[in-house]
Homo-oligomer: A and B are copies of this chain.
Amino acid sequence: MAEQQVRGQQVRQAPGETRSARKDRTRRAILDATLAAAGEGSLSTVSLRRVAREAGIVPTGFYRHFSSLDEVGLTLVDESFASLRQMLRDVRRGSPDLSDVIRGSVAILVEHAHRQQAHFRFIARERVSGPPEVRVAIRHGLELFERELATDLARLPRSASWSSEDLRVMADLIVTVMVSTAESVLDAPVGRPEAEREIVRTAELQLRMIVVGAANWRSRD
């Protein structure tokens, strides 16, 4: 937070900065400004002019980096899922202990939701309300997730009695619960830790119910 040439005039000069480094910096500023602007409203209510202003460039300068705001949106989707993949890696690193894997996974989900708030919100919102292209990209990302989770489930000891369809359906269900949990965390009241505790507890119970269901699956029909 050293620089930032306050209002009116831009960071016109940064002495020893290479040309492409500056370009990257402006690109980043556009991405951040779009993410922030989408935070109040949605991607389709964001105006190019506002983004440009907040990024410290003139409106037409925007086109040196992206050809449309939708393109910025797609880039933000990529970034968000990169962070989600990191989360999955964290989950997998957790102890493969049977009962605590749920606690751990939910905790990691919640922590990431807080640390990547803007990106999580972006995904949650644009998943249903965004431009078609963006929606498709998000849906695709979630499907990849689901498939990864399904192969993880297949490695479980109890997986013998599960068909591949069972696996797909379970993974879908778990992802649905996780998405819903993340949404709840994101618009939980800020200054109320007990509200979040209840969301976490609910998610844990739900996942536990699903696990119980899965464990007793096919032993009955």
Any chain B CB within 8 A of the CB of A169?
yes
Taking the full assembly, how many copies of this chain does it contain?
2
Q: Please state if B42 and A202 are interface contacts (CB–CB under 8 Å).
A: no
Known: A128-B124, A183-B128, A213-B213. A202 touches B169 (CB 8 A): yes
Any chain B CB within 8 A of the CB of A18?
no
Per the bound structure, the CA–CA distance linking A44 and B129 in Å amounts to 11
Per the bound structure, the CA–CA distance linking A215 and B209 in Å amounts to 10
Give every chain B residue within 8 A of A128 (Cβ-Cβ).
124-125, 127-129, 183
Closest to A169 in B: B205
Per the bound structure, the CA–CA distance linking A214 and B212 in Å amounts to 8
Contact of A166 among B168, B173, B205, B214 (CB under 8 A): B205
Give every chain B residue within 8 A of A157 (Cβ-Cβ).
none
Closest to A220 in B: B212
Name the residue among A127, A129, A172 with the largest chain B CB count within 10 angstroms: A129
Q: Please state if B129 and A202 are interface contacts (CB–CB under 8 Å).
A: no
Determine how close the nearest CB of chain B comes to the CB of A158; give it in whole angstroms: 14
Give every chain B residue within 8 A of A124 (Cβ-Cβ).
128
Give every chain B residue within 8 A of A180 (Cβ-Cβ).
176, 180
Binding site for B on A (CB under 8 A): 41-42, 44-45, 124-125, 127-129, 135, 165-166, 168-170, 172-173, 176-177, 180, 183, 187, 202, 205-206, 209-217, 220
What are 27 sample pairs from A and B whose C-beta atoms fall under 8 A apart?
A42-B44, A42-B45, A124-B128, A125-B129, A127-B128, A128-B129, A135-B187, A165-B205, A166-B205, A169-B202, A169-B206, A169-B209, A170-B209, A172-B202, A172-B206, A173-B206, A173-B209, A176-B176, A176-B180, A209-B214, A209-B217, A210-B210, A211-B213, A212-B216, A212-B217, A213-B214, A216-B216
